[in-house]
A and B are shown apart, each in its own frame.
Chain A
Amino acid sequence: DAGVIQSPRHEVTEMGQEVTLRCKPISGHDYLFWYRQTMMRGLELLIYFNNNVPIDDSGMPEDRFSAKMPNASFSTLKIQPSEPRDSAVYFCASSPGDSKFYEQYFGPGTRLTVT
């Protein structure tokens, strides 16, 4: 298996532009997680899905952020409009089951820079 795939790996955009990050989880994994990593806050969960349904989006910073999972093999995280403070590394992770028994598998991350 190729592991969790994220694209793009790097994104540089100007303030006010729309940014879309993409994730393909490992086949057969029922859970998908979006994380943001910053120096100030470390690794924080933004949202997670179970069987394509959003379960907990309490970590989404504000209405500018949205995430979708239209099918079991694809998810997007969208920021519109983007702001410089959104600059961070965004990780997608997937898991085959509940956290009591299964670890999460992380993708390589997307490094976002908003100028």
Chain B
Amino acid sequence: ILNVEQSPQSLHVQEGDSTNFTCSFPSSNFYALHWYRWETAKSPEALFVMTLNGDEKKKGRISATLNTKEGYSYLYIKGSQPEDSATYLCAFSDLGATNKLIFGTGTLLAVQP
């Protein structure tokens, strides 16, 4: 059974703090890694699609890195703002089922003004 783990489960930071969280996934047969942002009462929205080892992607104050050999990805938020408060999900697919995304349970980020 493929397992995607995210840590921490939740995080409370002050406005202006920088933060990061981890997504761990099986390192064998890697195909793709997705990050999604899920605000309360809305639906998940894509942040990044990552496929290459060593890949680094950035969108505004949010960036992500990927290590497929050891099976982890980091998501960084620089200078957190209250509007960054959301659950951040990662999802993994492998060569055996390339379009079947296995989602982690997410990291809930709360940014206090």
Contact = CB atoms under 8 A, between A and B. Distances in A.
A5 B4 CA distance: 28
Contacts, number: 59
Contact of B34 (A45, A55, A99): A99
A14 interface: no
Interface in B63-113: 89, 93, 97-106
Interface string B41-76: 011111001010000000000000000000000000
A31 B34 CA distance: 16
Contacts of A106: 43-45
A6 to B, nearest CB: 9
A44 B89 CA distance: 12
Given A105-B46, A106-B45, A109-B43, A99 B104 contact: no
Interface residues of A, number: 26
A85 interface: no
Interface string A29-48: 00101000000001111001
Which 6 residue pairs of A and B lie closest in terms of their CB atoms, listed nearest first? A103-B46, A106-B43, A43-B103, A42-B105, A99-B32, A100-B32
Interface of A: 31, 33, 42-45, 48, 50, 55-56, 58-59, 91, 95, 98-109
